[in-house]
Amino acid sequence: MTASQGDPIVALDRDNVCALYDAYFDTLDAGRLEEWPDFFVTECRYRIISRENYEAGQGLCIMQADSKGMLTDRVRAILKTQVYAPRYCRRFYSGLRVVKAVGGELEVKQNVLIVQTLLNKPSEILGCGAGHDRLALNESGELKFVDRTLILDTEMIRNSVIYPA
């Protein structure tokens, strides 16, 4: 969804929001992790946080970044340093709604289900939660995440969370 000369700047409307989420989850589902940070602005925030901590106003996350650089570090660790059993991960989102549109920023919510499949094992739900996100257009007129916060109902994680969602 890059703007090139002559193209209109992407409008802050529901169709384009859906297109962003479709592309975002497709990138992650396909395992193209190196492309994941590009969905965010430079000074961004990303969190996977338990509902327990979120509702108590406590800061500790399962996965966290407060810059695009930190997202890149997470990707590098996943690809180069972490040790884990191989798995597929597929994400399903629903109930997407634009809650607020203020000053060039959209507040968007959606439900998310993460299904994980380990080798020779049945698929299982790794996590179920709600995304509370803020989106905005960057300088090139592309729609990006300013803040993506995935609040997990699943407070008891089955072993590990490797991939973002």
- By rule CB under 8 A, what count of residues binds other proteins? 37
Residues 17-56 that bind other proteins (CB under 8 A): 48, 50, 52-53, 56
Binds other proteins by CB under 8 A, chosen from 33, 39, 74, 133: 74
Q: Is 69 in the site for other proteins (CB under 8 A)?
A: yes
Between 17 and 41, name the residue whose CB sits nearer to other proteins.
41
Stretch binding other proteins (CB under 8 A), from 2-10, 14-22, 83-91, 92-100: 83-91
Burial class (CB in 10 A: 0-12, 13-18, 19+), 85: exposed
CA nearest to 91, candidates 60, 125, 61, 58: 125
Cα–Cα distance for residue pair 110/96, rounded to 1 Å: 4
Q: Counting contacts by CB under 8 A, is residue 84 touching other proteins?
A: yes
- Distances in Å between the Cα of 96 and the Cα atoms of 16, 69, 108, 112, 126 are 12, 28, 7, 10, 20
Least distance (Å) between residue 33 CB and other proteins: 14
Phi-psi region at 31: left, alpha or beta (left = phi > 0; alpha = psi -120 to 50): left
Which stretches of the chain bind other proteins, using CB under 8 A?
48, 50, 52-53, 56, 58-70, 72-74, 76-77, 80-85, 155-162
